[in-house]
Structure 1
Amino acid sequence: MRLLAIWIINALALLALPYVVPSVQVASFGTALVVALVLGLINAVLRPLLILLTLPVTLLTLGLFIFVINALLFQLAGNLVDGFNVGGFWPALLGSIAYSLISWALSALLFPQGKR
Structure 2
Amino acid sequence: MRLLTRWFISGLSLFLAAWLVPGITVAGEGWIVYAIMAVILGLLNAIVRPIVKFFSIPALILTFGLFILVINALMLWLASSVATNIFGVGFYVDSFKDAFWGSLIITIVTALLSGLVKEKDND
TM-score tier after normalising by the smaller chain length: 0.7 to 0.9
Give the AA of the match of 1:46: V
1:97 aligns to 2:97 (yes or no): no
Q: Give the aligned partner of residue 7 of structure 2.
A: 7
Q: Give the aligned partner of residue 50 of structure 2.
A: 48
CA distance in 1, matches of 2:15, 2:5: 15
CA distance in 2, matches of 1:24, 1:41: 20
RMSD of Structure 2 on Structure 1 (CA): 1.6
Q: After TM superposition, give the deviation of residue 107 of structure 1 in Å.
A: 2.3
TM-score, with structure 1 as normaliser: 0.87
Q: Structure 1: any 5+ residue segments left out of the alignment?
A: none
CA offsets 1:51-94 (integer angstroms, 9 cap, x no match): 11111122122222211111111100111112111110011001
- Contact preservation (8 Å) 2:2, 2:119: no
Equivalences, count: 113
> Matched residues, percent identical?
39
Q: Once superposed, which parts of structure 1, at least 4 consecutive aligned residues long, lie more than 3 Å away? A: none
CA distance in 2, matches of 1:51, 1:86: 22
CA distance in 1, matches of 2:63, 2:9: 31
Return 15-24 or 82-91, whichever deviates more: 15-24
Give the AA of the match of 1:68: V
Return 64-73 or 22-31, whichever deviates more: 22-31
- Contact preservation (8 Å) 1:14, 1:26: no
